[in-house]
Amino acid sequence: MVERRVAKEIEKVREKFDVECVDDNIMKWHIALQGPDHTPYFGGTFLVQLDFPNDYPFHGPKVKFHTKIYHPNINHKGDVCMGIIDNEWIPSHTALIVMNGLVSLLENPNPNDPLVPEIASIIKRDKKKFIIVAEEWTHTYAM
């Protein structure tokens, strides 16, 4: 039942993102996330992994960035702090909603709910500096 739902969802996600199953496992995806226009991530390609639990959709997928990124809501291990995958998950959410949420997070970092307080502090104090460093990291790690 879970695998059937995930198989349907991968087709929807493939309409917008480049997705591959890891080791032919429908429950583990690698997704190439393109940095959105007008952000310091533009031009970069970020590898994101989604791991679906056996009780999906009652619990959301685990999300991890494999590409280093300078962002207040994504730490050095690739963990992501985003409400819809954390405390706001509901069974009607889908992988496409998660991916669209990640795009939105890249477009609008949330320094008020940071996973990396140091970067959040920089955004609040000096947004230009944040943009410069985020662009440097994008060019170094995502291109």
Instruction: Give yes or no: 21 in active site.
Output: no
Task: Specify the residue for token string 């995958």.
Answer: 85
pLDDT attached to residue 1: 86
Which one is catalytic: 2, 21, 81, 131?
Answer: 81
DSSP 8-state assignment for residue 80: B
Beta bridge mates, 65: 48
Q: Which fold has domain 2-141?
A: Ubiquitin Conjugating Enzyme (3.10.110)
Of 60, 30, 59, 35, nearest in space to 47 by CA: 30
pLDDT attached to residue 87: 86
Question: Per-block average pLDDT, block size 10, for the chain (143 residues)?
Answer: 94 97 96 98 98 95 98 98 91 97 97 96 98 98 97
Beta bridge mates, 48: 31, 65
Question: With a threshold of 0.85, does the pTM exceed it?
Answer: yes
